[in-house]
Structure 1
């Protein structure tokens, strides 16, 4: 392939990626929008300070602006304050060291260790590097007169204000979509796991199948961690966000009580799948459930899957499952569980022990699924 054909192919691939990123909501679009905003803020800062004002330290404005288009408006404000403090400290350190020594190398030897040490202060976070880089800029360009210091601080401030303003006023980022996605995935992934378990139980499961169930149950626990992180990001993204009142409202999402409920459900599923792993394979530690028990277990798992599907559809107020159908599925699950309890006395002690452990976990799972569903949420629902 010739170089120009390869270049055309690569340009086409890049264009397609950008089009897909901007086509609809999703993480790719969010990243693309923030990148374009950062570039736009830098260009605006340069046009104002470098082209219109023709300032002597014009580079400081776009340098500050581009990094202050952060993932939330709150982070832009916090980073802007940190950045101005560090640039000021770095400038003063460099100017003081240069005035004291009269030599660039000696001034670096004095100012840089102190600047790097200041930058390691935990409260400065990722912005800490600005102390040492400012020292390098000041000393490398020899710009440490009182006039240069004021120009550097002023142009940094202008760039910071532009970066923060662009982030706050142009599509201010809100991370509600991540919360909504996790909320939907919990009941949906649980339902898919339960239906897979029901199908495998009907055909006769082995240890490999049971271990795959357990791994999928573990992923539900990790998904709950993602949900908690997403809620934290969402709360932060509303702080100092002028788009709070500007965005189109959407139906309220369940509160954090929903997270606690699904934490219990995920824990029950991990316990159930773990016990089924112990009943399979040659080195099993619990007796394998007999076929009549597996038939009732399949019916119970199918009914519980329908309950989870109804919960997922309730979040969007759409889908074939109605509230009455959910209640019917819950009742079917309780009936299947009652039949499993009655069969405990029909088996030897080892088999009864295995079935009893499953019955206990399944009963706790049904209690959690039958509990009232939390629906209240903080008034932070906005369209993405």
Structure 2
């Protein structure tokens, strides 16, 4: 790459990054979501640090008042439980670093020699797995003590009191001022699965109706392979949700977390669906192109697949509405020409023309199974090579249907 092209590429990436930051800022200002929650946490951390400095530096006039805001800003964590756990870790590490540094300085009488003794010890202590990513505080505290030359018992006591003050303020601010609750994040991750699944299925159906090539099928395959990442995000969000409600004095009362989540069996059904959708797109890709690995299915067979995919997408849209996703958050559902009553429609508030979301789902599943039976009947009379590719389609689509039946959202599955 020439220098000019390299500069253009860097400029393009900088523009993309600036645009992404701008979108995040707009989302934070215009509505609730992860961006606004991050902004709230940032303001809380700054407020906790200022309050800790006001108490330790301005009112108390502590000799090393930095310790209080330093600890406070670090303890405004993503959950109250994490704030408490991190606070205990930091107090232990800062106390250990302070005592070890003072002992080494008193033993050697020389700052450089004391560093040579204490830093290897605090670095090893910081690598203890129980301290996780807080281990660096032992070494940095020892450096503060040695550089500032505060070795007396009075100074050591002040370090500990300043640290405890910062910990109390940081934990208190995080627990009492809009305590973080992550159920909304889990709900957003949950709704992304049926949304992205429906979008992919509709894209496949539309492009198959117009005629597709190997490159198009490979793009479907790439999109299908991203679905497991969404499942991983959902599992992480569930973990954060459970943790955010631990030791949270006002999480359920102050914040509005949103609807309850289905059980983890729903996640398992979607994990299986993602696997079969990936296998389906791989089969379609390998049966297309100039040199296909599988004999391409005849047009009569491929003509039966789009109605089945549209019906599967309608099931996903009904699930998304059942989960309480706000209307209009995805592409219009059920707007293809000739869509019958009961199919999903964007902005219908979780109701289709045929009644509640459960009725819409049942009707869509019936259409899907009917389309699958027509496709399965095409197996008769096919030669061996063609039957291999057609059978692969039939098998994967049947598995998708079973997975979607298992992924039904019902009140019995509600919970976190």
Query: Quick one: structure 1 residues 196 and 76, their matched pair in 2 at CA, closer, same or farther if it must change by over 3 Å?
Result: same
Q: 1:133 matched to which residue of 2?
A: 140
1:252 to 260, 283, 295: 260
- What do the CA deviations read for 1:15-66 (whole angstroms, capped 9, x no partner)? 9976752432122211111111111001111111211122222221111111
Within 5 Å, which residues of 2 pair with 1:291-306?
291-306=299-314
Corresponding residue for residue 388 of structure 2: 353
Greater CA deviation, 28-37 or 317-326? Answer: 317-326
Aligned match for 2:364, one of 319, 329, 332 = 329
Q: Distance in 1 between matches of 2:407 and 2:24?
A: 44
Work out the CA distance in 2 between the residues paired with 1:263 and 1:245. Answer: 30
| Structure 2: runs of 5 or more not aligned | 1-20, 326-348
Please provide the CA RMSD for this pair: 1.9
Question: 1:312 is matched with which residue: 316, 320, 330?
Answer: 320
- Residue 189 to residue 83, structure 1, CA distance change in 2 (3 Å): same
User: When you count helix as a share of all residues, which structure comes out higher?
Assistant: 1
1:183 paired with 2:178, answer no
TM-score, with structure 2 as normaliser: 0.84
1:307/1:330 contact within 8 Å kept: yes
Residue number in structure 2 paired with 1:281: 289
Deviation of the 1:122 alpha carbon: 1.6
Any residues of structure 2 matched to 1:198-277 within 5 Å, and which? 198-247=205-254, 248=256, 250-277=258-285
Give per-residue Cα distances to partners, 1:264-301, cap 9 Å, x unaligned. Answer: 11111111111111101122111111111111111111
Q: 1:212/1:46 Cα in 2 relative to 1: closer, same or farther (>3 Å)?
A: same
Alpha-carbon spacing, 1:253–1:240, altered in 2? closer, same or farther (3 Å): same
1:84 aligned to 2:119?
no
1:161 to 137, 162, 168: 168
Q: Deviations over 1:174-205 (max 9, x none)?
A: 11222111111111111111111111111111
In structure 1, the partner of 2:44 is 37
Q: Tell me which residue corresponds to 1:371.
A: 406
User: Contact between 1:257 and 1:374, CA under 8 Å: does it hold in 2?
Assistant: no
Q: State the match for 1:59 in structure 2.
A: 66
Equivalent-residue separation in structure 1 for 2:171 and 2:361 (angstroms): 48
Deviations 1:327-350 (CA, angstroms, capped at 9, x unpaired):
222111111111122111232111
- 1:125-146 per-residue CA deviation (whole Å, 9 max, x = no partner) reads 2211111111111111110100
Dislocated runs of 4+, deviation >6 Å = 14-17
Change (3 A) 1:362 1:378: closer
Offset at 1:245? 3.6
Q: Matched residues in 2 for 1:250 and 1:351: separation?
A: 49
Q: Cα distance, 1:116 vs. partner?
A: 1.1
